[in-house]
Structure 1
Amino acid sequence: MEEIKKFIDTIYPMNGADWNFFSSKLRTETVKKNTALIRIGEVENYLSFISEGIVRFYIPKEESELTFGFLFENEFVTAYDSFITQTPSHYQIETLTNTTLWRIAFQDLQEVYKKTESGNVIGRRMAENMFLIKSKREISLLHKTAEERYLDLFRERPKLLKQIPLKYIASYIGVTPQALSRIRRRIT
């Protein structure tokens, strides 16, 4: 639980009472590789902190899946739009490795927001950060080539390229696995 405390303190330090209240609501869960954390049509009920592992966001399709996000340890994961609206998700989240999560339920988080001084500030800053990540991805898809997106990914998240199957990386940058192979040959 120490890693989640350190992460939150980088956003906005929680005083002892707030941390004790918040941490009393957290539950740990370890799930195996390839476990769905949420499926299309389900309502997201948890905000989770990845203590260990990798997850991906994707939309299943008949021909191939559309991967649009990855998260690693020391990051929060949730189907955020489903979580805040309490409506069914339009995408799925699955673990790519054995994963350990610290989870807080929607209702418990609402209670944290109401009863702590720092909960709302942390929640707002996390939402702002998620927006910036999403905005950066959209702009990249609209203005950069697949090769530029791959190189950006390589610079920003080299760990991703070592731990994630290339078919998911290809989908993430918006190309086929064959096109990704050609990009990789060109730049090496």
Structure 2
Amino acid sequence: MRILVIYATVEGQTREIAEHIERYLKDNQHEAVMVDTTHPPDSLSIDEIDGIICAGPVHIGAFPAPLRRYVERHKRELMARPGVFVSVSLTAAGDDAGEWEELNEITAHFSEETGWWPVSVHHAAGALKYTEYDFFRKWMLKRIADKKDAPTDTTHDYEFTDWGALDLFVDGFVKDIPDVAGKI
């Protein structure tokens, strides 16, 4: 299978997730074509693409503008292939029902905005990268983390992504592509 992996990143965790997906696909005898929507290629033919994995982080209640613009601009081509969405956020590390509902609404709003509707969504937990934050961002995220009983030692970074769950999601998608492709 040849899979198009489209992503945008803000702090780098979504790039790590997209690169992990790329390695995982290659390790399982598939091909991955990567597109960073912050610096997209001038042209891209998806004629030889079997499926699409789109990944983006939630920041301040929305996905990055470059990702939204790219998906909206190419929605017709993207909708012609089975596609899934990997939503990356710290909310996915928790179990607050209200926050999960909001996360699902943000993801649904992305589809409404762009006109691209994935066949499935995986919510991947992100990371707290305290050592990379400026003073204000570090202070703000430490306060939020403290309220959620999350790590607050700002001398360390914390990754919450469940790589095994992500691999299972990608496996399921790749296995389902032949069945889903004929129904789009």
TM-score under structure 2 normalisation? 0.28
Q: Which has the larger radius of gyration?
A: 1
Larger helix percent: 1
Report 1 or 2 for greater relative contact order, CA contacts < 8 Å, sequence distance ≥ 6.
1
